[in-house]
Amino acid sequence: MDENDIRIKKLGGGSLLIAWQLRDKNVLIVGGGEVASQRIESILTADAHITVLSPQKGLHPRTQRFIELRKDRITYYDRPYSGPEELDSMDMVLTALDDNELSRSIVELSRERRIPVNAADIPDLCDFYFGAQIRDGPLQIMISTNGNGPRMASIIKTRLQKGLSGLEGEAIIKVGQLRNKLKEREPGVGGQIGRDRMKWMSGLCNQWEMEDFTLLDEAMMEKVLDEGWEQDGRVPKVEEIGIRTSRKSTSGSFGQPSNYNVFKRVENASSIAIAPTTFAFVAGAAVASLVLIRFLKR
């Protein structure tokens, strides 16, 4: 049994970390305290519609502020949870209560209706957990302890943040725009063209610096495609595009020559050069700042 076999044998004990799409879904939050305010913020990020049930006297100031400022997404009822009918038309249920028995009852009713549910501070009742999050535009990083130590997740979050430059969100936005432009030039889903696009974008992300992407404008993006994709899939140097940065080296993130061709656009698929398919940053152990972004492939 080799090391990979041993790793496979040890798999288990964690959670499936996914980016759950909640846009325009209905989420019920029972409770209005500090934890409820945290849940509201997390759900607002996902563009869901939120219903909050809590007596006015139980509202945390932050919860109150969310309700006042986000009437477009939050419907508030000044009353406690009243019964199973509250779950009608809900796609997710969250409880943030001091009453564990009531939380347990809501969880059971939710599961009977096959509604995903989370009960704050009662891990064994949760279908999923909320973790500490870092967000910068489209970049979202979640740190989960699987319900074992929320404070530890917060500490790790702080360490990770110290390893980020602050350019990641803007760089990802620009990469996404460039990717869309490429798909307009070479439309199609899957197949060889999809693999070609992915390899070229991955090569670009691996060789350019974060700052380079943040400086791209519309004209530069077109030039990247003209000088790169349209030229047998080469990765152009940033100087060719008109980008001027303060960095000392332009040899590429992984040391490949900047005129390296990610692939030759020929009929034989075996001639395509293999390139990494991840857009990643590796940070030192001192700050434990590993960021792995796998958003180039849908």
Q: Looking at the annotation, which residues are catalytic? A: 121
- 82 HSE (CA, 13 A, CB side): 9
DSSP the chain: --HHHHHHHH--SS--------TT-EEEEE--SHHHHHHHHHHHHTT-EEEEE--GGG--HHHHHHHHH-TTTEEEESS----GGGGTT-SEEEE--S-HHHHHHHHHHHHHTT--EEETT-GGG-SS---EEEEETTEEEEE--TTS-HHHHHHHHHHHHHT--S-HHHHHHHHHHHHHHHHHHS--SSHHHHHHHHHHHHHHHHHS-HHHHHT--HHHHHHHIIIIITTTTB---HHHHT---S-S--S-TTS--TT-BS----S-GGGSPP----EEE---TTTT--EEE--S--
Alpha carbon distance 205, 217 (integer Å): 16
Residue 193 and residue 287 in contact, taking contact as beta carbons nearer than 8 Å: no
Residue 229 and residue 185 in contact, taking contact as beta carbons nearer than 8 Å: yes
